[in-house]
Structure formats: structure tokens, C-alpha cells
Amino acid sequence: MTQSFHIVILGGDGIGPEVCDQSVRLLEAMQPHLDNVEFRLDHHSVGVGEYQRSGEALPQSTFDACVESDAVLLGAMGLPNVRYPNGKEIAPQLDLREKLQLYGGVRPIQLFHEDDTPLKGHGPGDIDFVLVRESTEGLFYGRDAIADLDADEACNMLRITRSASERVCRLAFETARRRDRKKTVTLIDKANVLSSMVYFRHIFDEVAKDFPDIKAEHVYVDAAALFLVRRPQDFDVMVTENMFGDILSDLAAGLVGGMGMAPSGDIGDTAAVFQPSHGSAPDIAGQSIANPIAMHLSTAMMLEWLDHPETRRAAHALNAAIADVLSDPTQRTADMGGKLSTVEITDKIADRMSRRL
Amino acid sequence: MTQSFHIVILGGDGIGPEVCDQSVRLLEAMQPHLDNVEFRLDHHSVGVGEYQRSGEALPQSTFDACVESDAVLLGAMGLPNVRYPNGKEIAPQLDLREKLQLYGGVRPIQLFHEDDTPLKGHGPGDIDFVLVRESTEGLFYGRDAIADLDADEACNMLRITRSASERVCRLAFETARRRDRKKTVTLIDKANVLSSMVYFRHIFDEVAKDFPDIKAEHVYVDAAALFLVRRPQDFDVMVTENMFGDILSDLAAGLVGGMGMAPSGDIGDTAAVFQPSHGSAPDIAGQSIANPIAMHLSTAMMLEWLDHPETRRAAHALNAAIADVLSDPTQRTADMGGKLSTVEITDKIADRMSRRL
Ligand SMILES: CC(C)[C@H](C(=O)O)[C@@H](O)C(=O)O
Ligand SMILES: CC(C)[C@H](C(=O)O)[C@@H](O)C(=O)O
């Protein structure tokens, strides 16, 4: 019996559509090789372009499609020069995270070739960890506030709830259990200063008791930033608050080649959105020079997450094909000092992937 | 006419006293070489040791001495295993920052030898920037709150005031003006999401108008973390909120050898505290193996800040002596892979310093 997966495709803004198109090509290329699995690809509009057309960056029809979908594949959203009247950027990914309760921002960090890292003495395999970022609250909780520029002060609230903390810590421990690494989850907090972090740590420690096979440890966020540049090989799974996760995941991406190499999955209990960690890079949009690796790795994460034997097999083949291409440091797009176009590097991946399926 | 400088010495906890003692030795060694300048060194007790003795980590008499002083030199405070009843660490440096209104956490980041950085392709001179961290509010504003571990949530407030933002931005622009680098101040914010950061940016832009000779730019905090690992040479002076500054300054210290190489000055309008950025490292206390470089660099910052021609000359000689010792990568303490003791490396610095005075 064929299982049909309803996948919503949201190209978005800037380079979003062109990298997303390439991942769609990979999905189409693998389709004939998969038994009893059918992808139903459902394109919808979202982002600044949509905001300028209809006044809504995330139209109800798009949102409804996401709710009904098995997974969402998203390119990139936002443009630095188009903002809401309150001065903030148009970032409907934040709305998606909140409205779909995508509490776990899962950001794998993996080094494919020593040339890709700015760090001395690190090769593939030794930088390989996952950062799980809480994505529905923390310091982003009060993001709807509007600043009064004439006031004497402006405030935002950092909010940690028991329920959100429990589920994101649980996801982190489950992630460590599935990985074949150090079986360790590191909570990144600031419990030496902030009461909300004392609370977060308390809940983390409670959840840890349900995972006796996984080591649980704590590191302060400032120390974590230092450890990431001095001994990134020590980390397996990290879990942290929304704002801390935002900062540390970009830092971590910088260690393995930059945002063009950093995939992400925003995971909830009933929905999930997969997208590259990079932005819409309007300066290079439309030239087919954008790096699609993060997009393709996100696609592999989605296939894994769909959790069908055949999609898992496809994820495996796609990941292996990417690793294979990236094992040659000349096979890179311009952001990584290479000469391949968005399409060319995808062709190479498609070729290797198909041979494995 | 001799000018007398009243310098309060706070050794603190762990390795604090032993590194601080070495800086005191340097002050004593330079004293006979300076014309018309006298250091009045005034030792006081502070930190966990004092908390255990008297119940107060920052006794009133110590605080009063700080208020009356021309500058405070501090070793390190806190011990991971001794906490207040509310579970938070004993960190009277935070009280000092607030009570003395030390709004500018000035953290210079300087690479002395290519062996000291984990980054490829960077040598001395090319990583050389100053991070100015607002130190009286931001996310640390609500740090007195106590978490109710049985509640359903815990919150902290991030607070940005006009007055604190104006003075810290001003300090950043003045710092860039005094430095002979790119004459650029980069505001690190999260104005794409947080209204308090839209507000902070607005005030930064206003202050920037008073410094037409200095370039002002904005970078989001997540991007800043990535840029720090991929092109740290691009920064001159950065200014940011308290929590962001805490994270980014440790990250930056990691790029030039770690916390043992990172000095800091907590600057206010009427007082200033100089201390290494590292903690009290109780595991290595009492063995004379701690790295005193950050402490000595902090001492040089203090001498510069005292702003007398002779203390400026002394600061120059001390900085040059440190750079001279560190130009040989074998002249390091154990944390940097070397064999020198805390006293031995100080001897070498003292020797070179005295010859320059
Ligand atoms: C674009 C921005 C709103 C977003 C965030 O801050 O979460 C991005 O930085 C990310 O990490 O997904
Ligand atoms: C010890 C701690 C309270 C302190 C801080 O968070 O400010 C330290 O990390 C620092 O950077 O000075």
C-alpha cells in the first residue's frame, strides 16, 4: 500500500525559491526509486513577496496547508529592507514556530571537510553535534511588543514555562539517544545569574531522570560560546533557550562553513518545518550562485523525520551523496570559494544519490 | 607635586589572590620609575571567603573603600559550589557594577601570537578589537528575582533605558576615536525581533550623530557570533546589551587564547574596576600555575584609565613587556600549553617592563 506524504513547499524570498526548487528536484529524482511512497508536493506563497501582494506574509490558506501537511519545506523568508510599520523584519517563520508550536529548533552542525572550518586541526567527523533551540518562548516571547522610541525605557520579557521546557528537553534527550555519539545532552543556561534559568535547569534535571542512559550536564552560555571555538568536538546534543540558541547556532554554523551549510528542522508534536538556517540573501538572488547545501541537508532531515523505511533510506542516500560531493573541497559554490552554481552542485548530488537508491 | 592614587586591591577567591598579588608586584616594581606618582595600595576582602566569614560577600567597608578609590583592581570572585540560598552564584562583581554604576564593561580582545588562536590564518595585529558591554541593566536587570521551582513558569525582564544606553554608546564611540584602527563602532542587537532592541538601535543612531568622524554600523547578534569566528579582523569597537556582551566577550576571548588572556575594565563616571575576565578556577588555586596575563593586561588598562602622563607611560611599558614575552609562544603558563608558573611569567614581564621605564 502506497503511503502518500503531503509536503508543503514554501519558496519564500530572495534565494529561497531557487534553493528550494533544487531540493524539489531532488525529491522528484528520488521518487521513482522509492517503493510505496508518494510525495504530494503542494506549493504555497509566503514571505515578503506575499506581504507586498496581499498584505499578509503568512496567508491563512498557506497556514492551513501547513497544518494539514505531513511536513513543510521552506526556502528562506524576509528581506532586510522591507519591514512592518513597527520597524521589525518580516519573519513569518517566527509565526509558524509559535502557531504550529514548533518548539524544537533542531540544528545539526557537521563538518564535511577540514577546508570548510576556520578552526585549526579539525576534520570531518570530529565536529558533529546538534543544537536544540527552544523556539516558542524564551526572550522571543514578547516579540509582538512595539517600542515607543520617545519613552525612557523599553523592555522585553524572557519567559520559560514548565511545559515548553519539558518537551524541548525531552526532544534533546531523544535526539542524543538516537545518535551514535557521546550520548550526552548539555543544557546551556545562565543559572548563575537568572532565576528563569535556575528554573529551566531544574526542569532539565527532572527530565534527565527519565533518560538514565544519557549523560546530562550543564554549561553556562558564555562558557559554551568559548568552548564552541576551543573544543567543539566535546559536544553531542545541546539544548537551550530561544535567544541563546539563535546566537549559538549561528556561531556553530560558522565553524563548519557558514549559514550555507547549516540545515534546521523546527519540530512540533503535530507539524514540522524544515529550512536552511540562512537568510534570503537578496544580493545574490536570481543568479544561481547560492549554496543549496543547507537546503538539501534540511530536506534529508525532513525525509528522516517522516519516519517511513523508504524515506529514511532516501535520507540516508541524500546525506551520503552530499558528504560524497563535499569530500572534494573544490566542489563548492561561490560562498565557499568554489565555482559551482546552485544547479551544478545539485546535479552532482542528484547523480550520486540516484546511484545509491 | 606628587599625585597619589588610591587603588583598592580585592584578591577575591580561588586563583584571584595569587594572580592579583603578581599584578601588585608589577605596580610595586614600576613605582620607583615613575615621577610624581604614588600608588596607595589598599587591600580589602570580598567574595565567597568573605561571605563565609561574615555573611556578606561585599562588606560595607569594602564597598566604601571602592567608592573613595581612584580605581579598583580585582582578582576573581565566586566559587561554583558555594551559592546563595536561592541557588545563584555569589558574584559581587555584579553588585559592584550596579551600585557603582559601572555601565561600560570594556573588554579588549587582542591576539599576541598566531599559536594562541584556534583560528586558521590569523596573526598578531589582525585580531584587535574592543567589546563594550552594557553592564547595569539589559537581561541582568531582573537578576534579583528568585525562581519558584514549583510554579508553571519563570520570567526575567530585559530592560533598556535611554540614559544607560546613551552613556554606553558614547563610551564606545569615544573608545573608537582613541584607537588607531578602523574608527568604527558596531552595534550588536536583535532589532529584527525585539522591540527593546529597536529602541536600543534608535538611541545608538542618535548618539552616533555626535561622532561624525566615526563610522556607525549595526549587526544582529546571531550574525555577529558567526562573523567573530569567520572574520574577526573586521571589528574595531562593538557595543551591546549586557547578556549579549557576556556571551560574545567569552567567545572573543576564546579566539585569542581563552579567559586567561582576556582583561576587562568596568567603567563608570566616578569609579572603575579592573579585573581579568576569567573566573576563580578553584581547581588550580594555590599551585602558582594560573595564567596572570589577563590580570596584568587589566592592570595596564587601569594605569591607562588613571590618565596621568606617568601612569600612561607605565601602561605603555607594561603592555609592551607583555607583548614582548608573548611574542615567544614557549613563554606560556600551563593553560596555554606552556611550563611557566604564575610567578615566573610575571618575572619576565617585570624585567622587560622595568627596562622600558
Ligand atoms: C530571521 C530571524 C527572525 C531568525 C531568528 O531570530 O530566529 C533567524 O535568525 C533564525 O535563527 O531562524
Ligand atoms: C561570573 C558572572 C556573573 C559574570 C557575568 O555574567 O557577568 C561573568 O561571566 C562575566 O562575564 O563577568
Q: Which amino acid is at A94?
A: L
| Average pLDDT for chain B | 96
**Distances, alpha carbon B273 to alpha carbons A102, B8, B277, in Å:** 44, 9, 12
The 8-class DSSP code of residue B125 comes to T
Ligand with smallest separation from the Cα of B223: 1
Chain A within 8 Å of B1 (Cβ-Cβ)? no
Q: How far apart are the C-alpha atoms of A21 and B20, rounded to whole Å?
A: 60
Sequence-distant (≥ 6) Cβ neighbours of residue B325 within 8 angstroms: B331, B345, B348, B349, B352
Instruction: For ligand 2, say whether the CB of A60 is within 6 Å of any of its atoms.
Output: no
pLDDT mean over B127-146: 94
| Short-list B301, B266, B268, CA closest to B110 | B301
**Distances, alpha carbon A75 to alpha carbons A45, A99, A276, A294, B192, in Å:** 11, 19, 7, 10, 19
Beta-ladder partners of B105: B133, B266
**Distances, alpha carbon B27 to alpha carbons B299, B315, B353, in Å:** 8, 10, 11
Query: pLDDT by residue (tens digit) across B324-339?
Result: 999 999 999 999 999 9
CB atoms A143 and B194 under 8 Å = yes
Q: Residues B94, B158, A265, CA angle at the centre, nearest 5°? A: 115
Q: What is the pTM of this model?
A: 0.96
Q: Which residues of B touch A198 (CB under 8 A)?
A: 86-88, 147, 149, 154
Query: pLDDT by residue (tens digit) across A133-173?
Result: 999 999 999 888 888 999 999 999 999 999 999 999 999 99
| Short-list A131, A122, A125, A133, CA closest to A230 | A122
Give the model's confidence band at A88: pLDDT under 50 very low, under 70 low, under 90 confident, else very high.
confident
pLDDT at A208 over 80: yes
Chain A within 8 Å of B67 (Cβ-Cβ)? no
Q: How far apart are the C-alpha atoms of A61 and B334, rounded to whole Å?
A: 62
Q: Choose the weakest-confidence range: A52-56, A339-343, B320-324.
A: A52-56
% residues pLDDT > 90 (chain B): 92
The CATH T-level fold of domain A104-264 is Isopropylmalate Dehydrogenase (3.40.718)
Query: pLDDT by residue (tens digit) across B199-208?
Result: 999 999 999 9
Query: pLDDT by residue (tens digit) across B35-68?
Result: 999 999 999 999 999 999 999 999 999 999 999 9
Q: Is the distance from CB of B34 to CB of B26 less than 8 angstroms?
A: no
Chain A within 8 Å of B206 (Cβ-Cβ)? no
> Separation of A250 CA from ligand 1 center, angstroms?
9
Ligand with smallest separation from the Cα of A275: 1
- Minimal-distance CA residue to ligand 2 atom 9: B246
Tell me what pLDDT residue A85 has.
82
Mutate to test the pocket of ligand 2, among B93, B109, B240 (most ligand atoms within 8 A of CB): B93
C-alpha cell at A245: 540558541
Give the model's confidence band at B24: pLDDT under 50 very low, under 70 low, under 90 confident, else very high.
very high
The 8-class DSSP code of residue A2 comes to P
Tell me what pLDDT residue B28 has.
97
pLDDT at B87 over 80: no
pLDDT at B105 over 80: yes
**Closest chain A residue by Cα to residue B153:** A161
| Average pLDDT for chain A | 96
Q: How far apart are the C-alpha atoms of A48 and A285, rounded to whole Å?
A: 14
**Distance linking the first and last C-alpha atoms of chain A:** 20
Kindly report the nearest CA distance between residue A255 and chain B, in angstroms: 7
**Distances, alpha carbon B20 to alpha carbons B80, B303, B344, B352, in Å:** 20, 15, 14, 19
Kindly report the nearest CA distance between residue B270 and chain A, in angstroms: 23
- Minimal-distance CA residue to ligand 1 atom 7: A246
Sequence-distant (≥ 6) Cβ neighbours of residue A133 within 8 angstroms: A104, A105, A106, A107, A240, A241, A242, A244, A245, A246, A249
Q: What is the CATH number of domain B104-267?
A: 3.40.718.10
Chain B within 8 Å of A193 (Cβ-Cβ)? yes
> Separation of B246 CA from ligand 2 center, angstroms?
7
Give the model's confidence band at B251: pLDDT under 50 very low, under 70 low, under 90 confident, else very high.
very high
Q: Is the distance from CB of A76 to CB of A276 less than 8 angstroms?
A: yes
Domain range annotation of chain A: 1-102+268-357, 104-264
| Short-list B145, B236, B149, B144, CA closest to B187 | B236
Tell me what pLDDT residue B181 has.
94
Give the model's confidence band at B234: pLDDT under 50 very low, under 70 low, under 90 confident, else very high.
very high
Name all residues whose Cβ lies below 6 A of ligand 1.
A 78, 91, 93-94, 246, 277; B 192-193, 222
Sequence-distant (≥ 6) Cβ neighbours of residue A205 within 8 angstroms: A216
pLDDT at B115 over 80: yes
May I ask the CATH class of domain A1-102+268-357? alpha beta
- Selecting from B78, B153, B190 the residue whose C-beta is nearest the C-beta of A159 gives B153
CB atoms B153 and A142 under 8 Å = no
Q: For residue B279, give the ligand 2 atom closest to its CA.
A: 1
Q: For residue B105, give the ligand 2 atom closest to its CA.
A: 12
Tell me what pLDDT residue B91 has.
87
Instruction: For ligand 2, say whether the CB of A81 is within 6 Å of any of its atoms.
Output: no
Q: How far apart are the C-alpha atoms of A146 and A148, rounded to whole Å?
A: 7
Sequence-distant (≥ 6) Cβ neighbours of residue B183 within 8 angstroms: B176, B177, B213, B214, B215, B236
CB atoms A195 and B161 under 8 Å = no
Kindly report the nearest CA distance between residue B98 and chain A, in angstroms: 14
> Separation of B250 CA from ligand 2 center, angstroms?
10
Could you say which residues from 111 to 130 on chain A have a Cβ atom under 8 Å away from some Cβ of chain B?
118-120
CB atoms A222 and B161 under 8 Å = no
C-alpha cell at A287: 543568479
Tell me what pLDDT residue B145 has.
83
- Minimal-distance CA residue to ligand 2 atom 3: B91
pLDDT mean over B173-185: 97
Chain A within 8 Å of B230 (Cβ-Cβ)? yes
CB atoms A198 and B87 under 8 Å = yes
pLDDT at A87 over 80: no
Q: Which residues of B touch A158 (CB under 8 A)?
A: 139, 155-158
Q: For residue B97, give the ligand 2 atom closest to its CA.
A: 7
- Selecting from A87, A119, A160 the residue whose C-beta is nearest the C-beta of B153 gives A160
Q: Which residues of B touch A197 (CB under 8 A)?
A: 156
| Short-list B249, B262, B8, B230, CA closest to B112 | B262
Tell me what pLDDT residue B52 has.
92
May I ask the CATH class of domain B1-102+271-357? alpha beta
Q: Is the distance from CB of B184 to CB of B214 less than 8 angstroms?
A: yes
Sequence-distant (≥ 6) Cβ neighbours of residue B309 within 8 angstroms: none
pLDDT at A1 over 90: no
Q: Which residues of B touch A92 (CB under 8 A)?
A: none
Tell me what pLDDT residue A86 has.
77
pLDDT mean over B274-284: 96
Q: Residues B217, A246, A46, CA angle at the centre, nearest 5°? A: 90
Q: How many CA atoms lie within 13 A of B100 on its CB side?
A: 31
Same fold across B1-102+271-357 and B104-267:
yes
Q: How far apart are the C-alpha atoms of B68 and B64, rounded to whole Å?
A: 6
Structural element, H or E, at residue A40: strand A37-44
Q: Which residues of A touch B228 (CB under 8 A)?
A: 251, 254
Sequence-distant (≥ 6) Cβ neighbours of residue B245 within 8 angstroms: B105, B107, B131, B132, B133, B134, B135, B138, B188
% residues pLDDT > 90 (chain A): 92
Tell me what pLDDT residue B86 has.
77
Q: Choose the weakest-confidence range: A90-99, A170-179, A280-289.
A: A90-99
Q: Which amino acid is at A298?
A: S
Instruction: For ligand 2, say whether the CB of B94 is within 6 Å of any of its atoms.
Output: yes
Tell me what pLDDT residue B90 has.
87
